[in-house]
Amino acid sequence: MPAPHNPFKAALKAGKKQLGIWASFAHPYPIEMVASAGFDWIVIDGEHAPNDLQTITAQLQVLEDKHSHAVVRLPTGNDWLVKQVLDAGAQTVLVPMVNTAEEAAALVRAMRYPPDGIRGAGAAGARASRFGAITDYVTTANEQVCLLVQVETRLGMENLDAILEVEGVDGVFIGPADLAADLGHPGQSAAPDVSAAIQDMLARISASDKAAGILGMTEAATAQYASWGAQFLAVGVDVGVFSTAIRDLEGHWRTRL
């Protein structure tokens, strides 16, 4: 029995648009609610949300067999973190702050079993192989893992073309907030030179064999990113959606009672 098919990776390869959202509550109950909306992909955020391996695993369990595909964002690109979330059942991994082709190539190797990589082959006791029930997991998993790298600094932008040449990188995700900060405009991802840089990078990624991704935090930004070629596009963060709605609700009734 081979490793499970990765529908998100297949959709990116086929050039299909994929609509996503961030999950930052770090708990399986709210992510199950988010999954009921029908997004194509949901990011389990291990960088800025209070997630650890156990909470990530619990959310992977909830999303199994759901339409929404789990994308696990790591806090950093350490090979042992990659190994742990893959063994926990993640197939698609998003890594922040990738600045060079060498860093991207190292992540490709971390995602794969030998001879193509360095992933440890102890899958028999891992959730990814259904605890050994997927007998051909180690020999077939490499084909189904999906690596997304985040380019979100001036250095990463300068090295984008080299990163796009790295075989085994499936998509390049632009981080507007970090890019804006690194370009001298913290909190201003709509600044003219930041927008110009994002437009240029989305065009370059779209012209390659990689998929272009980004997170839009406003309706205007999201529509603009889509028109610039973003293929896998996240349209919000669950914590932000909830906090805005709950504050608006309080404000609505505070002035009426």
Q: Enter the pTM of the model.
A: 0.96
Instruction: Please say whether the dihedral angle defined by the alpha carbons of residues 168, 172, 178 and 180, taken in this order, is positive or negative.
Output: positive
The tens digit of pLDDT for each residue in 202-211 reads 999 999 999 9
What would the mean pLDDT of 223-242 be, rounded to a whole number? 98
Give strand pairing partners of 173. Answer: 150, 213
Answer whether residue 2 shows pLDDT above 90.
Answer: yes
Res 220 pLDDT > 90: yes
Peptide bond before 50: cis, by omega within 30 degrees of 0? no
pLDDT digits over 21-30, tens only? 999 999 999 9
| Amino acid of residue 189 | S
Which pLDDT tens digit goes with each residue over 131-175? 999 999 999 999 999 999 999 999 999 999 999 999 999 999 999
DSSP lists the bridge partners of residue 95 as: 149
In the prediction, which pLDDT does 1 show? 87
Q: What is the pLDDT of residue 27?
A: 98
Region 238-244 average pLDDT: 97
pLDDT of residue 226: 97
Does the pLDDT at position 122 exceed 90? no
Q: At residue 195, does pLDDT exceed 90?
A: yes
Average pLDDT over residues 228-250: 97
> Domains, the chain, ranges and CATH?
7-254 (3.20.20.60)
Range 186-199 average pLDDT:
96
Other CB atoms within a 10 A radius of the CB of residue 54 amount to 9
* Angle of the 53-63 helix axis to the 79-87 helix axis, nearest 10: 40
Catalytic residues: 48
The per-residue pLDDT for range 98-117, each reduced to its tens digit, is 999 999 999 999 999 999 99
Q: What is the mean pLDDT of the chain?
A: 97
Q: Which of 182, 184, 214 is nearest to 199 (CA)?
A: 214
Q: Interior CA angle at 168 toward 166 and 170, to 5°?
A: 95
Q: 74: Cβ–Cβ under 8 A, 6 or more apart, which residues?
A: 46, 47, 81, 82, 85, 93, 94, 95, 96
pLDDT digits (tens, 9 = 90+) for 55-94: 999 999 999 999 999 999 999 999 999 999 999 999 999 9
On the question of pLDDT at 123 being above 90, the answer is: no
